[in-house]
Structure 1
Amino acid sequence: MSTQARGLEALVDARKGEYGGGSTRVVAVTSGKGGVGKSTLSANIAYILARHGFRVGIMDADIGLANLDVMFNVRAEKNILHVLKGEASFEEIVLPLEENLWLIPGESGDEILKFSDATIVSRFFDEMEVLENLDFLIVDTGAGIGDTIQMFLKAADDVVVVTVPDPAAITDAYAMIKVISKIKERVLMVVNQVKNAKEGQKIFDTIRKVAAENIEAPLELTLLGTVRNDSYVSRSVKQRVLLCKELGNIGVAGDIEAIAVQLGEKKERKMLDEERESGIGNFFKKLLGQF
């Protein structure tokens, strides 16, 4: 670890009590390839968690393709990069979406990671108290195994890999899991756009078997849930409405709700990697410390 990184870590540790410590669970949602419904799932999971009473922030970290503001039908004038530059406060960029739900507009991870000196980070934490009471921060990352995406995954408490039945997507999901296994001992999976739960389970079992045979690092791979294919999903995206809000009574919305409920229950029982320190401050400490 560099001297600068150690200085950053000491700064954050010293100020831990000021920003609320480790109550927030940071969940990064990622995929091996684009077009698997990752952002749609992130948005709807965040909405359901909020509806169940959790205080949820959702951060757009899909580099170059940030679109959560479009999905929530809001306009983000500034983002997290403006906070790091001192051009805005967290309070100015955080957009309230629903009761208990806030959007944190993101920016290219490459740009964010340019702002890592102690003075900037100190100011960053001064502004961050508006987020200190969150129960969850859902981070919608980009697709693929690029270095910047790996930084977000490493900094998160939990990683959810999304795939679909397409053979190329399955291959890319396995490649993603193999990379993640070098930085995480636990990976959660969602198989999206399946005909039924049986198909999703079969795909997961295949990936888990290949992983067990080829990945040497200790890895606990868990199926968080499966989501049925439904034309209403793409329709809701085009209409800029949340599926689980507008059509909460259809089957696919029930599938997504079951996934969100699992995350909520695991947090309440402290079953998700409970031995590790979590929290908003710790997430940004690890993210900004990777230089």
Structure 2
Amino acid sequence: MSTQAKGLEALVEAQNGAKGATRVVAITSGKGGVGKSTISANVAYVLARQGYKVGIMDADIGLANLDVMFNVRADRNILHVLKGEAGFDEIVTQIEPNLWLIPGESGDEILKFSDATIVSRFLDEAQALENLDFLIIDTGAGIGDTIQMFLKAADDVVVVTVPDPAAITDAYAMVKVVSKIKPEIGMVVNQVKNAKEGQKIFDTIARVAQGNIGGELRLKLLGTIRSDAYVARSVKQRVLVCKELANIAPAGDIEAVASRLGDKKEHKMLEGQKERGLGTFFKKLLGQF
């Protein structure tokens, strides 16, 4: 049996351990180079280590690279499933216990599929993923139409920024766009000297957003992640910070972000709020909802 097939089989068998419907979390940024993919990969790993069933999907249009970050080979992706050229058992790869990679398409072709028959077949295939507790979507940077489609279809949106004037300006622009489709937006400030610096940047963005956007916008700080040269090295060496360098400060900061996402899911379950699951996500993404 292939590695992918074994990975999907393990996911199907994990059904009894799942903690409810899948929560889809899109992690995005106003500009590139802010560490979005590194945070996505490590948050997914931490949630999986905490016992959640986690899928991570690469939707960084034009720069799909999570397979490189996880040091695995992905010859086929979700576009091949849409075209009927592969099944999910041929693209889903188990990275770690409780963690599966769903290779995305480094182009916008995925969003061109709206034929009801094709989408129906795709959704039948996607049933194997319904056992996930979380699906982390690593989107591209910026406010393009394709990226907005993923953000609109997701349950939660997390905007990542860094202490750079251009990045902060772009993060505010992203918040402004997302606020039109999501009343609540999470934010992570990466590469900070300390938590105080991160809080100050968040407060500045929140103040401007409240003054100019207002309304029902709820902007929440999910965490700040301290800067460390080892993080850049980990990317080049294709290792996860939270796995191989768990003792450095950024690893602990990322774990705190992941824990807050986990707490949010548990809180919604305790309140009896129904989560839509992957079927609804894919239907919205492909224009069938």
TM-score (norm 2): 0.90
SS of structure 1 residue aligned to 2:284: helix
CA RMSD across the alignment: 1.8
Q: 1:265, CA displacement in angstroms? A: 1.1
| Mapped contact 1:46–1:58 kept (Cα < 8 A) | yes
| Aligned residue number for residue 17 of structure 1 | none
Q: 1:277, CA displacement in angstroms? A: 4.2
Alignment of 1:183-262 (within 5 A): 183-262=181-260
| Aligned residue number for residue 180 of structure 2 | 182
Gaps of 5+ in 2: 1-17
| Aligned residue number for residue 129 of structure 1 | 127
SS of structure 2 residue aligned to 1:270: helix
Determine which of 283, 286, 289 is the counterpart of 1:285.
Answer: 283
Quote the Cα distance in structure 1 between the aligned partners of 2:33 and 2:288: 28
Quote the Cα distance in structure 1 between the aligned partners of 2:251 and 2:117: 45
Quote the Cα distance in structure 2 between the aligned partners of 1:283 and 1:205: 31
| Aligned residue number for residue 3 of structure 1 | none
| Aligned residue number for residue 143 of structure 1 | 141
Gaps of 5+ in 1: 1-19
| Mapped contact 1:151–1:290 kept (Cα < 8 A) | no
1:91 matched to 2:106? The reply is: no
| Distance change (3 Å), C-alpha of 1:131 and 1:221 | same
Q: 1:271, CA displacement in angstroms? A: 7.2
Q: 1:278, CA displacement in angstroms? A: 2.2
1:23 matched to 2:21? The reply is: yes
| Mapped contact 2:188–2:221 kept (Cα < 8 A) | yes
Quote the Cα distance in structure 2 between the aligned partners of 1:42 and 1:131: 19
Q: 1:102, CA displacement in angstroms? A: 0.3
Quote the Cα distance in structure 1 between the aligned partners of 2:58 and 2:228: 24
Identity of aligned residues (%): 79
Alignment of 1:114-125 (within 5 A): 114-125=112-123
| Mapped contact 2:23–2:275 kept (Cα < 8 A) | no
TM-score (norm 1): 0.90
| Aligned residue number for residue 4 of structure 2 | none
| Aligned residue number for residue 45 of structure 1 | 43
Q: 1:217, CA displacement in angstroms? A: 3.7
| Aligned residue number for residue 70 of structure 1 | 68
Counting matched residue pairs gives 271
| Distance change (3 Å), C-alpha of 1:203 and 1:66 | same
Q: 1:290, CA displacement in angstroms? A: 7.1
Question: What does the per-residue CA deviation read over 1:97-145, in whole Å, with 9 as the maximum and x for residues that have no partner?
Answer: 0000000000146201111111101110111122110000000000000
**Would you identify which runs of 4 or more consecutive aligned residues in structure 1 move more than 3 Å?**
271-277
